[in-house]
A and B are shown apart, each in its own frame.
Chain A
Amino acid sequence: MSESTDASGKNGTARVAVVAAGVISPLGFGLGETLDSLRAARDCVTAVTRFSVAQCRCKTAGQVPDERLLAERRKCARPQRFHRAAHMMIRALAEALRQDAKFKPELTVIGTTSGGMSYGEDYFRSLHLHGDLRRSPTWIANYPAQKPVVDALDTFGIRAPCQVIANACASGTNAIGHAFECVRSGRYERVLSGGYDALSELVFVGFDSLQASTPEKCRPFDRDRTGMVLGEGAAILALENLDTARARGAPVLAEITGYGISTDNFHFTQPNPSGSGPRQAMEHALQSAHLSAHTVDYINAHGTATPFNDAAEGKAIGELFGRGVPVGSTKSMMGHSLGAAGAVEAIVCLLALQHQFLPPNINFHAPDEDADLNIVANESRPASLRTVLSNSFGFGGTNASLVMQKFEA
Chain B
Amino acid sequence: MSLAIAGMGWITPLGGGVDAVWERLLQGDEAHAEKITEKFDDQAYTVFRVPDSALASLAPHPRLRRASLISRFAAAAGLAALEEAGVKLDPRNAERVALVFAISNGGVIYTKRFYRDIVESGAQSASPLFFPETVFNAPASHLAAILGITGATYTLVGDGAVGLLAIRMAEDLMANGALDYCLVVGAEEVDWLLCDAYHKWRLLRLEPPVEPFNEVARGMILSEGAGAVLLAREGLIKIESTHAGGYYRKRDEAEDVLKRILCDLIEAESGFVIASANGTFIDEAECRAISQVVPGAIVYTAKPALGESVGAGGLWQVIVGGQALRQGELPPLLHVTSKIPLRISASGSAAATARGAIVLSCGLNQQIAGLCLGMDP
Interface residues of A (CB under 8 A from B): 2-12, 52-56, 106-107, 112-113, 115, 121, 123-125, 127-129, 133, 136-137, 140-141, 144-147, 150, 153-154, 159-168, 174, 178, 181-182, 185, 187, 201-202, 205-211, 261-265, 268-269, 280, 394-398
Beta-carbon contact of A166 and B201 below 8 Å:
no
Q: A150-B366, A209-B131, A395-B141 are in contact. Are A167 and B172 (CB under 8 A)?
A: no
A-B contact count (CB 8 A): 227
Beta-carbon contact of B172 and A178 below 8 Å:
yes
Q: A124-B119, A140-B200, A265-B150 are in contact. Are A7 and B240 (CB under 8 A)?
A: yes
Chain A nearest Cβ from B331, distance in angstroms: 27
Chain A nearest Cβ from B215, distance in angstroms: 24
Beta-carbon contact of A206 and B134 below 8 Å:
yes
Beta-carbon contact of A168 and B123 below 8 Å:
no
Chain B nearest Cβ from A158, distance in angstroms: 10
Write out the residue numbers on chain A whose beta carbons fall within 8 Å of the beta carbon of B165: 161, 163
4 extra interface residue pairs, beta carbon distance < 8 Å, beyond A202-B111, A205-B118: A7-B242, A144-B104, A162-B158, A268-B141
Beta-carbon contact of A140 and B197 below 8 Å:
yes
Chain A nearest Cβ from B143, distance in angstroms: 10
* B132 beta carbon closer than 8 Å to chain A: yes
Per-residue interface assignment for chain B, residues 104 to 139, with 1 indicating a CB less than 8 Å from any chain A CB and 0 otherwise:
100000011011101110111011100110111110
Which A residue's beta carbon lies closest to that of B120?
A128
Interface residues of B (CB under 8 A from A): 1-3, 40-41, 63, 99, 103-104, 111-112, 114-116, 118-120, 122-124, 126-128, 131-132, 134-138, 140-142, 144-145, 148-159, 165, 168-169, 171-177, 193, 196-198, 200-202, 239-247, 249, 264-265, 267, 365-367, 369
Beta-carbon contact of B103 and A166 below 8 Å:
yes
Roughly how many angstroms separate A161 CA and B112 CA in the complex, as a whole number? 30
Beta-carbon contact of A124 and B115 below 8 Å:
yes
Beta-carbon contact of A185 and B63 below 8 Å:
no
Chain A nearest Cβ from B134, distance in angstroms: 7
Roughly how many angstroms separate A83 CA and B156 CA in the complex, as a whole number? 20
Beta-carbon contact of B171 and A261 below 8 Å:
no
Roughly how many angstroms separate A251 CA and B41 CA in the complex, as a whole number? 57
Write out the residue numbers on chain A whose beta carbons fall within 8 Å of the beta carbon of B132: 210, 268-269, 395
Q: A165-B156, A166-B103 are in contact. Are A202 and B118 (CB under 8 A)?
A: yes
Roughly how many angstroms separate A107 CA and B245 CA in the complex, as a whole number? 9
Ordered by A's residue number, 10 sampled pairs between the chains whose C-beta atoms are within 8 Å are A113-B136, A136-B197, A137-B200, A146-B157, A150-B366, A154-B249, A181-B176, A209-B123, A396-B135, A396-B138
Residue of A2, A165, A201 ringed by the most chain B CB atoms within 10 A: A165
Residue of B131, B174, B369 ringed by the most chain A CB atoms within 10 A: B131
Q: A53-B123, A167-B155, A202-B114 are in contact. Are A11 and B176 (CB under 8 A)?
A: yes
Write out the residue numbers on chain B whose beta carbons fall within 8 Å of the beta carbon of A398: 137, 141, 153
Roughly how many angstroms separate A34 CA and B155 CA in the complex, as a whole number? 30
Beta-carbon contact of A263 and B149 below 8 Å:
yes
Q: A141-B201, A145-B136, A396-B137 are in contact. Are A127 and B196 (CB under 8 A)?
A: yes
Q: A202-B115, A205-B123 are in contact. Are A3 and B243 (CB under 8 A)?
A: yes
Beta-carbon contact of A106 and B41 below 8 Å:
no
Write out the residue numbers on chain B whose beta carbons fall within 8 Å of the beta carbon of A10: 1, 175
Query: Considering the complex of A and B, which 7 residue pairs feature the smallest CB-CB distances, nearest first?
Result: A9-B175, A396-B141, A166-B136, A206-B131, A161-B245, A55-B123, A4-B264
Write out the residue numbers on chain B whose beta carbons fall within 8 Å of the beta carbon of A174: 154
